[in-house]
């Protein structure tokens, strides 16, 4: 019946003032519908990373940023897939009366937080062990250079936290390892940076460095798995990171618990938790997944960047995520049953105008 309707409605063409019917298959019509859909941000992630050296200089690193001191306690924005839903901000487009399904959520074996100090890493592992006895893997979503100095979590900061924009995954990992290790035996001057001080400070906190390790090394020392996806802060993911994540999940043992983090545990973390939820629970709607991850404590992935006093550069980045994440849902729905033989980068070319 569907094919018959598509054939009947296929195309009414006007040629030289005369109207004629042409017969089209259902696949022809479906392709035509795809071509009519327009995505403003389809290639924004690729274009953003395609920068000249002069453009990269706008985001040049200028400080070692002290992010989390090595104190006991849980990292910020800690939550698990089994956490209770909480009341959230009434953002435009958010319906507080909508109650998303929890189908599959309590079985997701996932948690999230901000990044962490060495003692906070120990604390979050202890919390996960209350829920799970099997393997744990840390999913690190940060493109920026970061690591643990005397147990404190530090990073190298540039404007918008984009110091590594345009650099390849391999370059970032190699340079990060060298930069972290080179602090050993030195005195490192760090600063606390944030919105409150305009990301500028001359109040240095100095460390005589006795231990210096990458996050991968800190995880390995604790018997944890570790995977790194170098995703630019505030942004929708680059294609490689999404394709790498999907490939990782495809081969992931069923008894593995994933702990996701970025810097604050909100933006990139929520985005990849949504992707993971899409994959593990394909019979749950896109809206339910986005709403439930928000109600667990993450960011609202339909957010359009329209909060009062939003940073101007974040407005279009929010709109990009709101447009592209639902497209990722369509990609997963279509390609997961086929074993993801077609990559995200290849699949989305069908929408190119």
Q: Is the pLDDT of residue 42 over 70?
A: yes
User: 174 to each of 171, 181, 214, 231, 243, how far by Cα in Å?
Assistant: 5, 11, 11, 16, 21
Q: Percentage of the chain with pLDDT > 70?
A: 90
User: The whole model's pTM is what?
Assistant: 0.90
Length of the chain equals 353
Helix (H, G, I), strand (E, B) or coil at 47: helix
DSSP 92-113: TT--TT-----TTTTTS-EEEE
**Contact of 340 with 250, CB cutoff 8 Å:** yes
Task: Provide mean pLDDT across the span 327-334.
Answer: 98
Tell me: do 309 and 327 sit in the same domain. yes
Q: 3-state DSSP call for residue 232?
A: coil
Q: 3-state DSSP helix/strand/coil percent for the chain, to nearest 5?
A: 40, 20, 40
Claim to verify: residue 25 and residue 158 sit in the same structural domain: no
Residues 211 and 257 reside in one and the same domain:
yes
Confidence of residue 27 (pLDDT cuts 50, 70, 90): very low
| Residues 288 and 143 occupy one common structural domain | yes
Residue range of the domain that includes 61: 44-351
Tens of pLDDT, residue by residue over 69-102, are 999 999 999 999 999 999 999 999 999 999 999 9
Tens digit of each residue's pLDDT (9 = 90 or more) over 185-226: 999 999 999 999 999 998 999 999 999 999 999 999 999 999
CATH of the domain at 215: 3.90.190.10
27 and 72 inside one domain: no
* Whether 345 and 226 share a structural domain: yes
């Amino acid at each position: 019946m569907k094919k018959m309707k598509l054939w009947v409605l296929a195309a009414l063409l006007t040629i030289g003032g005369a109207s004629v019917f042409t017969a089209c298959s259902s696949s022809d019509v479906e392709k035509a519908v795809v071509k009519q859909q327009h995505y403003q941000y389809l290639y924004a992630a690729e274009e953003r990373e395609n920068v000249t050296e002069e453009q990269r200089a706008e985001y040049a690193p200028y400080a070692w940023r002290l992010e989390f001191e090595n104190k006991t306690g849980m990292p910020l924005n800690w939550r698990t897939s089994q956490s209770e839903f909480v009341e959230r901000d009434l953002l435009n487009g958010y319906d507080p009366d909508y109650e998303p399904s929890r189908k599959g959520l309590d079985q997701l074996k996932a948690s999230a937080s901000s990044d962490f100090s060495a003692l906070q890493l120990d604390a979050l592992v202890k919390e996960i062990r209350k829920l799970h006895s099997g393997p744990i893997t840390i999913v690190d979503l940060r493109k920026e250079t970061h690591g643990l100095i005397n147990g404190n979590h530090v990073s190298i900061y540039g404007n918008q936290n984009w110091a590594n924009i345009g650099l390849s995954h391999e370059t970032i990992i190699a340079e990060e390892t060298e930069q972290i290790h080179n602090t050993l035996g030195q005195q490192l001057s760090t600063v606390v940076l944030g919105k409150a001080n305009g990301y500028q400070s001359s109040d240095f906190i100095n460390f005589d460095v006795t231990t210096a390790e990458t996050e991968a090394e800190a995880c390995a020392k604790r018997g944890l798995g570790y995977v790194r996806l170098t995703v630019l802060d505030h942004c929708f993911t680059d294609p490689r990171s999404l394709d790498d994540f999907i490939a990782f999940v495809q081969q992931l043992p069923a008894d593995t618990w994933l702990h996701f983090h970025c810097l604050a545990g909100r933006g990139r973390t929520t985005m990849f938790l949504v992707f993971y939820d899409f994959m593990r629970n394909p019979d749950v709607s896109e809206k339910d997944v986005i709403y439930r991850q928000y109600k667990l404590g993450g960011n609202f992935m339909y957010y359009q960047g329209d909060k009062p006093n939003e940073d101007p550069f974040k407005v279009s980045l929010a709109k990009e995520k709101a447009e592209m994440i639902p497209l990722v849902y369509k990609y997963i729905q279509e390609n997961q049953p086929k074993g993801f033989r077609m990559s995200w980068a290849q699949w989305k070319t069908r929408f190119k105008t």
